[in-house]
Amino acid sequence: MIKVMIVDDQPLIRDGMGALLDRREEIEVVGTAKDGAEALEKAEVLLPDLILMDIRMPGVDGVEGTRRIRTYLPNIKVLMLTTFSDSAYILAALEEGASGYLLKDLPTDSIVQALLTVYHGGVVLPQDFTTQVLAEIRKTEQINQAQKPKVLAELTSRELEVLRLLGEGLNNKEIAETLCITEGTVKNHVSNLIQKLALRDRTQAAIFAVRYGITVFPQT
């Protein structure tokens, strides 16, 4: 069972979502908080496996809240709750260590599946929304092929395949099934490419893959 904390400044959302998720046998909602500061205080006591955190909140928002959680409680994973107007915040949250994001209005089944994905080591990057976020990144940073880091040349073809699939949000098991290799081999490839690219973790690798066009989502 996954121990989850819900963080949102609106009581109706955090209590309503908490009640819905707590009915699921895979989930135990161990607490709620109104912002990132309270989330850290409660997480230090409750030690959830995963925090479902709104990205925009008064006081300490989701980006700063994620930074604090990942700094002081690095074993706790964070999944962001967003709306379509939040694309400017999403990259920042991911770079602070969030394991992905999902839209607030998703059905409960989809939220549970996202929680399971993150709990088991995956990254949740919804394709339609990620296309929008990628467009924002390229608009503000003007990334092009010539700007791709030269260190990419150090990756093997298989490591590049694994990196592309990380950008699609796949976990090790899914990558192994896609490439017809073992999970242990995938784990080794992920460790190697993270080391070669000087990244912090697999979420950073997923951001890297999307940002530099290794993972390319279809245009919508």
Q: Which DSSP string corresponds to 23-38?
A: TSTTEEEEEEESSHHH
Compute the C-alpha angle 44/98/184, nearest 5°.
100
**Host H or E run for residue 54:** strand 50-54
Q: What are φ and ψ of residue 196, in 5° steps?
A: -65, -35
Average pLDDT per 10 consecutive residues for the chain, totaling 220 residues: 95 92 94 96 97 94 95 95 75 86 87 92 74 60 61 92 88 92 95 93 83 69
**Host H or E run for residue 80:** strand 77-82
**Do 115 and 157 fall within a single domain?**
no
Number of domains in the chain: 2
pLDDT of residue 23: 93
Residue 134 counted as domain residue: no
**Host H or E run for residue 101:** strand 101-103
**Do 10 and 87 fall within a single domain?**
yes
**Residue range of the domain that includes 54:** 2-120
Burial of 207 (0-12, 13-18, 19+ CB in 10 A): buried
CATH at 46: 3.40.50.2300
Compute the C-alpha angle 138/142/146, nearest 5°.
110
pLDDT of residue 78: 96
**Do 166 and 96 fall within a single domain?**
no
pLDDT of residue 123: 83
**Do 98 and 174 fall within a single domain?**
no
pTM of the model: 0.76
Residue pair 55/86 in contact (Cβ under 8 Å)? The answer is yes
Cα–Cα distance for residue pair 161/10, rounded to 1 Å: 41
Residue 217 counted as domain residue: no
